[in-house]
Structures are given as C-alpha cells and as structure tokens.
Amino acid sequence: MPTVSDVAARAGVSTATVSRALNGKPTVDPGLAERVRTAAAELGYQPNGPARNLRRQEAAVVALIISDVENPFFTAIARGVEDVAHEVGYSVVLCNSDESVAKERRYLDVALQERVAGVILSPSGPESSVAKLASRGTAYVAVDRPLPGADSDVVLVDTRAAAREATAHLVAQGYERIGCVTGPAGVRTADDRLAGYRDALKAARRRSTTKLVRRSEYKAAGAHRAALDLLAQPEPPDALLVANNAMAVGVLQALQDRGVRAGRDVGLVTFDDAPWAALVDPPLTVVAQPAYELGAVAARLLLARIADSTRPPTATTLGARLIARASSHR
C-alpha cells in the first residue's frame, strides 16, 4: 500500500509537496502538482484515513444514529442527511440504535473514539449520553426527538399539533370512542402525540380515559399486543390514532386477526406516509411527516455547527400534513 513517501519519490519531490498538491493547496507549481497527481495515480495511491484524521484531529465523517433502520421514516431522514453531507464532501455513517439506549451509547462511544466531525441522532430514551459529546466539543444535532436537558440544535416536527389535528379529524368523522396507541413514556414524540390526542378530545369535550390508551415500544410487535388488548375490552375503541408506521403494521395485523374491518369498524389514522400506506385495505389516513427535509435540515445545522461551534443552538420545527384516505371514514 503506497504512502506519501512513495509518491514523493516517484514524483521527485518532498512529502510536503505531495500533501500540498493532493490537497489542492495553491502554493504549488502547477507543473509539479501535475507530476504529483500522475505519480499518485500510477501508484494507485489512497491516502491513509486514520493517519490523516489523527493529524487533522477530525474525520470528514458524520455519524447518524437512528432508532430503527427498518422504519421508512428514519431511512428517509437518512437520505436527507446523506444528500446534504455529500454535497460538501462529508461521508455519512449510519448507525442503528434499534430503540435501545445501550446500543445508542455504544455508537456514541464509537463516534467519539473515531473522532467524527459531528453526530446527528434521534435519542432512543429519556436519558441520553450526549453529555460526553458536549464535553469533548463534538458537534451534534438532535432530530425527530429533542435531547432531554441538552441545549442543542434540534429539528422536530410539530407532532403534538399533528396529533391534535388527526384526532380532531376522527372526531369530525363521527367516531365516538377514539383510542391511541403510542410509544414508550419518555420518548418525546410518543408523549407529544398522546398530548395532542388528549388536546383534541378536550377541545371536543370528550372524556379522555386511560382505558383507550396503550403504550408500547415503537415496533410492530408491541403495537400488535396493544391493539389486541384494546379490542378485547368490553367497550373497545371505534377509532385509533397510531403513533408511527411500524406500529401501524402491528395494529393492522391485530385488526386482521380479530376480523375487524379498518375504517368501517375501527377508524384509523397513523403517523408516517409509508410507501405502502395507500395500498392497504382501506388506504390509510396518515400524518405525513417531512422526513427527508428533517434529515436535510439537521445536516445543514450540523455542518453550520461544525464550522462555528459558538452559534447559539436553534430549534427548527417542521409541519406535518394530514392526508385523509379511506381508513378514517365509515
């Protein structure tokens, strides 16, 4: 594996010149620079990343820690981050914390060790270990969910308002006993969606009861259990607000298991406009979140913070959009 010295020898210059030429520094004679480039190409020279990062004290890499790779919402965020980062020459490494605080911490440690330039994360739990990042001066941005306590850049969706709107929509469609399946306590989006749901019930002068609310992991299996449980009650809900698209899968399975028809028997609004949401029977009414934008904005904020660590932290809130389809209509 050739090194700068090999290139230098072949081009008949010093290693300093090789480095300057390959990094496009202007203080190199064009002729020499050309000679260096051909020498590098002939040897198939690839700079040694670790050596470069060691010297530079930072890698041109940002880590993106998402809570569920199998959720299209988060992969769309990833696309947004990637596109923006690549434009300015940063690479993105995607880490899947799988809604586990332990895995999240592990990835944060790796990011810290590898001296990445910055981190974008969607915190999986109430207690996050970003303190380490802060104390090391590594830039970071929270996406989708704020960081408890930390005064950081953050990009959110106005999910409480969206949940309120979605619930109001169910009320307007004439559903009587509207339930809610949301994520774990302490995960901000889960709490906000529940709060929005309650806001709407209150505004409609409906009594809100914990009997119609269930929490579980943000995954299909948990939502499946939650939905079965709700349906098994003496007075089951006639509509459900479902807090993310993985959960929507679980809830739909539960309805199918019980032979309950979505829309007709139980109205449904779910978060996230997954590619398949319009294809199920009946097409799902959804709260479409601007996931790609979320990622793109987060990436831009991160880059800005990497460039200037003294910027005051900003909070960006994007809006969501209710797309009414047949599942919320008798």
Partner DNA sequence: AGAACACGGGTAATCCATTACTCGGCGCGC
Partner DNA sequence: GCGCGCCGAGTAATGGATTACCCGTGTTCT
Kindly state the smallest distance separating residue 167's Cβ from DNA, in Å. 52
Among 11, 35, 36, 82, binds a copy of itself (CB under 8 A): 82
CA distance 261 to 267: 9
> Distances from the Cα of 244 to the Cαs of 159, 296, 312, in angstroms?
11, 21, 31
59 binding partner (options DNA, a copy of itself, none; Cβ < 5 to 8 Å by kind): a copy of itself
According to the binding rule CB under 8 A, does residue 5 interact with a copy of itself?
Answer: no
- Binding a copy of itself (rule: CB under 8 A), the pick from 46, 209, 309, 317 is 46
Binding residues among 229-268 for a copy of itself as defined by CB under 8 A: 246, 249, 252-253, 256
Q: Which of 24, 307, 1, 34 is CA-nearest to residue 12?
A: 34
* Binding partner selected for residue 232 from DNA, a copy of itself, none, CB under the kind-specific 5 to 8 Å limit: none
| Geometric angle at alpha carbon 132, from 127 and 134, rounded to 5° | 100
Nearest to residue 279, comparing CAs of 252, 317, 309? 252
Tokens 């409609």 correspond to what residue?
Answer: 204
Q: Residue 19 binds which entry of a copy of itself, DNA, none, with Cβ cut-offs from 5 to 8 Å by kind?
A: DNA
For residues 68 and 78, the answer to whether their CB atoms sit within 8 Å is: no
Whether the CB-CB separation of 251 and 181 falls below 8 Å is answered with yes
Distance between CA atoms of residues 230 and 21, nearest Å? 67
Which position among 34, 41, 42, 54 is part of the footprint of DNA (CB under 7 A)? 54
Q: Which is nearer to DNA, 52 or 177 (CB)?
A: 52
| Cα distances (Å, whole numbers) of residue 140 to 26, 89, 103, 309 | 32, 18, 17, 10
Among 37, 52, 106, 211, binds DNA (CB under 7 A): 52
Q: Which is nearer to DNA, 47 or 184 (CB)?
A: 47
Q: Which residues contact 215 (CB under 8 A, 6 or more apart)?
A: 181, 182, 183, 184, 185, 190, 194, 226
Q: Which of residues 247-306 bind DNA (CB under 7 A)?
A: none
Q: Which residues of 194-228 are buried (b: 16+ CB within 10 A; e: fewer)?
A: bebbbbbbeeeeeebeeebbbbbbbbbebbbbbbb
Q: Binding partner of residue 13 among a copy of itself, DNA, none, CB under 5 to 8 Å per kind? A: DNA
Q: Which one of residues 34, 41, 42, 56 is an interface residue with DNA (CB under 7 A)?
A: 56
CB of 135 to DNA, least distance (A): 15
Residues found near a copy of itself in the complex (CB under 8 A): 1, 44, 46-51, 53-54, 59, 69-70, 72, 75-76, 78-79, 82, 91, 93-96, 107, 109-110, 112-115, 132, 135-136, 220, 246, 249, 252-253, 256, 274-276, 278-282
Residues found near DNA in the complex (CB under 7 A): 1, 3-5, 13-20, 22-23, 26-29, 32, 45, 47-48, 51-52, 54-57
